[in-house]
Amino acid sequence: MSLHRSVSLSLLLVLTCVFAVHAEDKPATETKGEWIQLFNGKDLTGWIPKVRYHEAGENPGNTFRVEDGLLTVSYDDAYEDGFNETFGHLFYEKPFSNYRLRVEYRFMGDQCKGGPGWAFRNSGVMIHGESPQDMGKDQNFPASIEVQLLGGKETGNRTTANLCTPGTHVVMDGKLFKPHCVSSKSKTYRGDDWVTCEIEVHGNGTIKHIMDGEVVIEYEKSQLDPTNSAISEPDHTKMLIEKNGSAMLSGGTISLQSESHPVQFRKVEIMLLDE
């Protein structure tokens, strides 16, 4: 082999290694069209808990944890006196605007003592949310759009992938929609089986909740509600509107709820979309 060829091959190998390192270090927000795992199946790296009556980053009673490779919301520690409206949320560390999000979840066990009746087999994925650092210590829910996840009772219908709007409004069917929650048209999912929910988000445009490949609810123009409905921190959304310079929401945090019923997530993944 000639010296020239040997040097060329050596240079090629060096460049290949350099590009490989940069590819591995490439932030998730720069990769589009591929599913990116937000939950690594091992620990809560990249996630920030915010539980009511506690500061951002605190995780009382190890409420949010990883058990057997599953992201778990549990109340078997530090809840001896009951739930006491200690609503919690686990935030992913980076905000997103245009994406498709997919979660696989299941409810399990019994509801925590003192949990509200409406929170039986109730959790959610919050999107277009504020940061956990902006939330007040006494705040119950982040200002956000909630994709409400519900498990069915023994009898009766109970849809999932519903819409709730803590501190927000949306436009639905061309009109500003102000009620706090509205049901989707999904079927009822009972028992402890795994359920897959997808959410397609286009900034301040269309948002779709998808179950079994079917769009079960659709809306657009997510926006902060200056009347602060469903947020326990006084005038909180007014502060956020002033900080954002607008009431309109084109992106924000993603978080998973703790609402008093144990729930597990075995997959939380995102596909970034073009604007």
* Total number of domains constituting the chain: 2
Q: Is the pLDDT confidence value at 88 over 90?
A: yes
Check residue 6 and give its pLDDT.
44
Check residue 30 and give its pLDDT.
53
Same domain flag for 9 and 80? no
Q: Is the pLDDT confidence value at 14 over 70?
A: no
Query: Counting Cβ atoms within 10 Å, is residue 102 exposed (0-12), middle (13-18) or buried (19+)?
Result: middle
Q: How confident is the model at residue 78 (pLDDT cuts 50, 70, 90)?
A: confident
User: 95-135, pLDDT tens digit by residue?
Assistant: 999 999 999 999 999 999 999 999 999 999 999 999 999 99
Same domain flag for 115 and 245? yes
Check residue 275 and give its pLDDT.
80
Q: Is the pLDDT confidence value at 55 over 80?
A: yes
Same domain flag for 53 and 11? no
Same domain flag for 176 and 77? yes
Pairing of strands 145-150, 122-129: antiparallel
Which residue range(s) make up the domain with 119?
32-272
The enclosing domain of 184 has a CATH number of 2.60.120.560
Here the tokens at position 34 are 């591929």
Same domain flag for 14 and 123? no
Number of other CB atoms surrounding residue 136 within 10 Å: 13
Same domain flag for 23 and 105? no
Same domain flag for 80 and 21? no
Number of other CB atoms surrounding residue 222 within 10 Å: 25
Same domain flag for 75 and 163? yes
Check residue 164 and give its pLDDT.
98
- Over residues 199-214, mean pLDDT: 98
User: 158-190, pLDDT tens digit by residue?
Assistant: 999 999 999 999 999 999 999 999 999 999 999
Percent of residues, the chain, with pLDDT higher than 90: 85
Number of other CB atoms surrounding residue 119 within 10 Å: 19
Same domain flag for 24 and 61? no
Here the tokens at position 89 are 């949320």
Give 157's contacts (C-beta < 8 A, 6+ positions apart).
Answer: 188
Mean pLDDT of the chain: 90
- Over residues 15-40, mean pLDDT: 60
- Over residues 234-260, mean pLDDT: 97
User: 1-13, pLDDT tens digit by residue?
Assistant: 544 444 344 444 3
Q: How confident is the model at residue 153 (pLDDT cuts 50, 70, 90)?
A: very high
Q: Is the pLDDT confidence value at 268 over 70?
A: yes
Same domain flag for 17 and 122? no
Same domain flag for 140 and 26? no
* Residue at token pair 């200056």: 226
Same domain flag for 130 and 144? yes
